[in-house]
Structure 1
Amino acid sequence: MRRLNATLVGLVAIGLTTIGCARLTAPPPIPVAAPRLDVIWVASDLAVVMQMLRVAEVGPGDVVYDLGCGDGRIVIVAAERFGARAVGVDLDPELLRQARQNAVKAGVADRVTFREQDLFATDLREATVVALYLSPEVNLKLRPKLLRELRPGSRIVSHEYDLGDWLPERTVLVPLAERAHRVFLWRVPPGATLKPAR
């Protein structure tokens, strides 16, 4: 009986020690969720990028914002070929790293800025041109912000997707090997009012 009691006491002690050690072991790390992306970035062909910037009549006096800029191609081309200052906004840090490297390679790092932030939190009041290649749903959700923050006369140019019932001033087709891509242009109307960002 003593031997059985000693064995039981030993097993209980081992069990308690194991439980105690388990409590001392750090819990597995909780993964940090990446920011939820409204759209997955897809690169615009250079021919489409050039047409977007031409249709928007981008020039040296412009500040171009690309919302969902990915690797920075619209921002870089706006600075390199059209002389504009430009700002790219994206949530993907890896794409932004590539964009910054691409700007250095293109020699325009001093005229472009890349921001890791949500496009809905971005202050657009400085922009004279906003470039979009998002989705129909995101464009519609973004429309009130564009009208609220952009100055009258500012241009909005979108690859492929419109802004709902706001008819574009101009629509251009860009024929590529696989299909024709649409480029839309709008100007913020004079009745739109610039309101302070919150």
Structure 2
Amino acid sequence: MHIRHIKRLVFVSAGILALSVAGCKPNAQAQNQNTEQASSPPAVEVKKTQADVPFVPTPNEVVEQMLKMANVSNGDVVFDLGSGDGRIPITAVQKYAAKRAIGIEINPDLVKQSRENAKKAGVSDRVEFLQQDLFKTDLRDANVVTLYLLPDVNLKLRPKLFEELKPGTRVVSHAFNMGDWKPEREEQVKANNGRTYTLYQWTIPENVPNNLRSSQK
């Protein structure tokens, strides 16, 4: 009787353990599902601003080609929107003899770094870096505009370019186009890092079609 009683206890204990393990599986799955749901971003439309654009340095080979596409020369005033560490404005005056170059950057640390880089390059007298949101910047002095932003930001910026820039102003974008404002030129640049980059170039027209004055594609 004693041995039979022990066997019964072992059988009952094993059954309880099996039920406990089986009961844990759905809870673990539910926890995983909750974790996945929590990590997934909500499906909402976000309006992009300059603050949403991460700083990704443009390779020097791409910088050079952007300025060549814009045909930068003496007398030009270059505005670089989202200027990061300042390499485009600095190169514009240092190698392409631009009269003046202005970098617009919202990150104060990058503005500080840009000013230090300009000082080291000996071009602080012709290069200026402003800590501003590019959507609040007055662009009317520019006759060349360069940018490396995001598709949504480009589209939001497009009406401002048409409103403030003079006809004949050249615009060059790294990586992203301007929706149905078709570029005059599109070029591929292979950098020393082995990657290939796409550049787009436009000229502000005398008469802007109504459909391009909207930020929509």
TM-score range normalised by the length of the shorter chain:
0.7 to 0.9
CA distance, structure 2, for counterparts of residue 36 and residue 142 of structure 1: 10
Q: Which residue matches 2:199?
A: 183
AA of the residue aligned to 2:85: D
Equivalent residues in 2 for 1:60-75, closer than 5 Å: 60-75=74-89
CA RMSD of aligned residues (A): 1.2
Q: Does the 8 Å CA contact 2:143/2:169 hold for their aligned counterparts?
A: yes
Distance of 1:191 and 1:36 partners within structure 2: 28
Q: What residue identity is the alignment partner of 1:63?
A: V
Matched with 2:122 is 107
Q: Partner of 1:26 in structure 2? A: none
Q: Counterpart of 1:153? A: 168
Runs of 4+ aligned residues of structure 1 deviating over 3 Å after TM superposition are none
1:38 Cα offset (Å): 2.4
Which residue among 151, 171, 188 is the counterpart of 1:136?
Answer: 151
Larger Rg: 2
Are 1:126 and 2:133 matched, yes or no? Answer: no
Instruction: Note the C-alpha offset of 1:36.
Output: 7.3
User: Which secondary structure does the structure 1 equivalent of 2:109 belong to?
Assistant: helix
Name stretches of at least 5 consecutive residues in structure 1 with no aligned partner: 1-34, 193-198
Q: Per the alignment, in what secondary structure is the counterpart of residue 51 of structure 2?
A: coil
Q: Write 1 or 2 for the structure with the bigger share of helix.
A: 2
1:137 CA displacement: 0.5
Q: How high is the TM-score relative to the length of structure 2?
A: 0.71
Shift of 1:77: 0.2
Pick the aligned partner of 1:116 from 131, 134, 137: 131
Q: 2:94 aligns with which of 62, 72, 80?
A: 80
The answer to whether 1:173 aligns with 2:188 is yes
Q: Write the distance in 1 (CA, Å) between the matches of 2:67 and 2:50.
A: 29
CA offsets, 1:95-129, max 9 Å, x none?
01010000001110000111001000000000000
Q: 1:88 to 1:36 in 2, by over 3 A?
A: closer
